Structure 1
């Protein structure tokens, strides 16, 4: 049983980090009331203690909040995926819809002669000479990112046999078939999140935006800014949803609290927490892959801060 919180959402939010993540409200019996995501966890959870504005339908729920649990994510994109995964698996009473409004998509990088280019697609079709990146949430954002990559690294203009407008655009871009391999490698480096490639690409796009602003082409500068933000969304850290259909359990432990993250078919679909001793925890921690260690440990420490002296019920 959770101890009722008489202090309200604002004080419950105090131990939360100011970065992105997903939060989960429970009532005094340990039942999940609501799951949400935030760009700033502390500010978002604290907001339930003030004027709810367009969330007034949640006023009854707020009076029932006894505790908050949270997962700190490495990016807003990751938080969006985690919220979607959790809500698709189980929809608490006060959540209205399973998952978010963003559409899952992939970026397909085609290296084949005659069809080279980057496209937004909804499914993965394995073909020789084709790589898929993602999945990503948000068709609009991903299309803007694809537009930015084509603007700066126009692989499609390096195809053989271009005619008419395509040939003229390639000429204006200073691109020919001999550039195809280097352009493909540059696009792949950005989408693979190579830090040097991402930084260089972002700086080049920002210079193009600033030049447009100096020339008073404010509409174009605004489009470039939107593309910069979209590229940041695409290349941000995101591990809670993968194209690999892997199944594993990831554990973190801190101050007597064991947190278990359940990954099924490549999606982090749930997290549970319970008290246990260090010896018991060690057996679970041994099976956590290195790529997940920092994520799990950080969130176990957060769970311990939020739980305090309360016994945390499992989902």
Structure 2
């Protein structure tokens, strides 16, 4: 067995990301994702546990490639996109197990609410005066999305800030100190959270943590555990995730370091192709100039990691 992959593990960051194994002919063997790249990739040379089917693959690994992502959610999307485009031999399924979903925010009086949808609704996806709805996402994992919606409803209860409530709902609204006039402020805060505005996110997470503490102090441990799951779900949906977007963007992203050019193709808003090859500095410049400014830091970081693993 080659010692190259084992030594390459030390060069991996302890960060979320996607990794790829290649054999000595350069063929892709396997694509996977990790919350901690160094620990996950290193595990292939230890006890594979429930991944016993990969034992025959490990002796064939001649090279390790990796991309560090800004969140576990981003890594999940990148893995899914790559596998949907091309499935290596040792991957069992094309794509991923998680279900892609969206969050749909309806701002209309009488129906203001946040809900999980599996397909984008027709019409505008951003709110305006004539179409007061908004679409956010996509997100991977219906369970996480529903938990996040429950979390936001717990501290930003849109359903009780309406002027069309039943008698029981009116009683609940009064108990929570809510009125229809509060709807606009709640909608603004929900939107800010879904837009990943740091102050709004931290405020909501702090309020959820207070609910969790009160539940724990009251010995309602199951409720406290549920709220903790909701906090983690909020973290999931607000984490940086740029490799799959609503915008149908097409572009190529390039990074270069020490003679190695890394390329990512983004088609219809999805980063779906990842390549790397040897390239001199002079030849790389024309590619680097094509990279959109918002992708340059990601591309440069990816090229530096590729170079480190290739050395």
TM-score (norm 1): 0.94
Mapped partners of 1:230, 1:265: distance in 2:
26
Look up the match of 1:20: 16
Residues 221-277 of structure 1, C-alpha deviation per residue, up to 9 Å, x if partnerless?
Answer: 000000000000000000000111111000111111111100011100011111212
Look up the match of 1:277: 280
> Does 2:174 align with 1:178?
no
Look up the match of 2:191: 188
Look up the match of 2:128: none
Mapped partners of 1:68, 1:120: distance in 2:
37
| 1:8 positional shift | 6.1
Mapped partners of 1:19, 1:44: distance in 2:
10
Look up the match of 1:313: none
| 1:168 positional shift | 2.1
Look up the match of 1:93: 89
What is the aligned counterpart of 1:124 among 115, 120, 123?
120
Mapped partners of 1:163, 1:123: distance in 2:
30
Mapped partners of 1:147, 1:10: distance in 2:
44
Look up the match of 1:64: 60
| 1:302 positional shift | 0.2
Q: Using the TM superposition, name which of 124-133 and 226-235 deviates more.
A: 124-133
Contact map agreement 1:10 1:47 (CA 8 A) in 2: no
> Does 2:237 align with 1:244?
no
> Does 2:50 align with 1:54?
yes
* 3-state SS, counterpart of residue 206 of structure 1: helix
Residues 98-117 of structure 1, C-alpha deviation per residue, up to 9 Å, x if partnerless?
Answer: 11111100111111111001
Contact map agreement 1:10 1:48 (CA 8 A) in 2: no
> Does 2:214 align with 1:220?
no
> Does 2:157 align with 1:154?
yes
Structure 2, unpaired ranges of 5+: 125-130
Contact map agreement 2:257 2:304 (CA 8 A) in 1: yes
> Does 2:168 align with 1:165?
yes
What is the aligned counterpart of 2:100 among 95, 100, 104?
104
Contact map agreement 1:9 1:48 (CA 8 A) in 2: no
Contact map agreement 1:22 1:36 (CA 8 A) in 2: yes
* 3-state SS, counterpart of residue 60 of structure 1: coil
Mapped partners of 1:262, 1:305: distance in 2:
22
Mapped partners of 1:25, 1:202: distance in 2:
38
Look up the match of 2:110: 114
Mapped partners of 1:211, 1:55: distance in 2:
41
Mapped partners of 2:4, 2:39: distance in 1:
14
Look up the match of 2:258: 255
Mapped partners of 1:249, 1:42: distance in 2:
28
Mapped partners of 1:247, 1:294: distance in 2:
18
Look up the match of 1:311: none
Mapped partners of 1:119, 1:168: distance in 2:
23
Mapped partners of 2:142, 2:225: distance in 1:
19
Structure 1, unpaired ranges of 5+: 309-315
Mapped partners of 2:132, 2:19: distance in 1:
41
Q: Using the TM superposition, name which of 10-19 and 131-140 deviates more.
A: 10-19
Look up the match of 1:141: 144
* 3-state SS, counterpart of residue 185 of structure 1: helix
